[in-house]
Amino acid sequence: MEKVLIGIFVILHGLVHLLYFGQSWRMFEMQPGMTWPDGSWAFARLVGNDATRLLASLLLVVAAIGFIVAGIAILAAQAWGATLLLVVSIFSSVLYILFWDGKMTHLDNQGAIGILINLALIVVSRVWL
Span 85-127, pLDDT tens digits:
999 999 999 999 999 999 998 888 888 999 999 999 999 999 9
What would the pLDDT profile of 13-45 be if each residue is shown by its tens digit? 999 999 999 999 999 988 898 899 999 999 999
Q: How far apart are CA 39 and CA 48, in angstroms?
A: 8
Q: Which residues contact 44 (CB under 8 A, 6 or more apart)?
A: 37, 38, 52, 101
What type of residue sits at position 105?
T
Cα radius of gyration rounded to whole Å, the chain: 15
3-state helix, strand, coil in the chain (%, to 5): 70, 0, 30
- pLDDT score for 33: 86
Strand intervals (E) in 52-96: none
Whose CA is closest to 94, among 120, 113, 118?
Answer: 118
What is this structure's pTM?
Answer: 0.94
DSSP class of 1? -
Asked whether 36 and 65 are in contact (CB, 8 A), the reply is no
DSSP class of 28? -
Domain ranges of the chain: 2-127
